[in-house]
Amino acid sequence: MKIQSIRTNSFSGTASSKSWLDKIHENTKNSADMNDTIVVPRTIFKGYLGIMAGTTFMTLGGLLNGKKHPKASKFLTASGLLTSLYGTWAFVRPFIIKDAPGVSK
């Protein structure tokens, strides 16, 4: 089989041509899908950060081992517990208290 011609598409357009993002938007079935965003209440985001930071503090407190650095280990463990507790409260609060400030409606 002989190849008689190869067609290529060039995307190097001029200022008056459409951008490649506009071409993608035209070919999608629902162009709104390209711009959809998820609204996350600020308190839930604070909850994620609190839980992740608390886990990190707890891990660092465990790695320091109570024998070599007992004060730092206890401090990091206690701060990890408190931060995780706050993160849990911030994450759960919008589901418990529906009219709390900062809850997206």
Q: What is the mean pLDDT of each run of 10 residues along the chain (105 residues)?
A: 64 62 69 57 85 94 84 93 93 74 57
Please check whether residue 30 lies inside any domain of the structure.
no
Predicted confidence at residue 80, as pLDDT, reads 95
Q: Checking phi first, is residue 60 left (phi over 0); if not, alpha (psi -120 to 50) or beta?
A: alpha
Residue 84 confidence (pLDDT): 95
* 101 within domain boundaries: no
Q: What is the pLDDT of residue 22?
A: 77
pLDDT of residue 50: 94
Residue 13 lies in a domain: no
91 inside domain: yes
pLDDT at site 91:
85
Burial (CB count within 10 angstroms: exposed 0-12, middle 13-18, buried 19+), residue 55: middle
Q: What is the pLDDT of residue 19?
A: 79
Q: Judge whether 33 lies within some domain.
A: no
| 91 and 47 Cβ atoms separated by less than 8 Å | yes
Task: Give a yes or no: residue 103 inside a domain.
Answer: no
Task: Let me know if residue 14 belongs to a domain.
Answer: no
Structurally, how many domains does the chain consist of? 1
58: domain range?
Answer: 42-96
Answer whether residue 8 is part of any domain: no
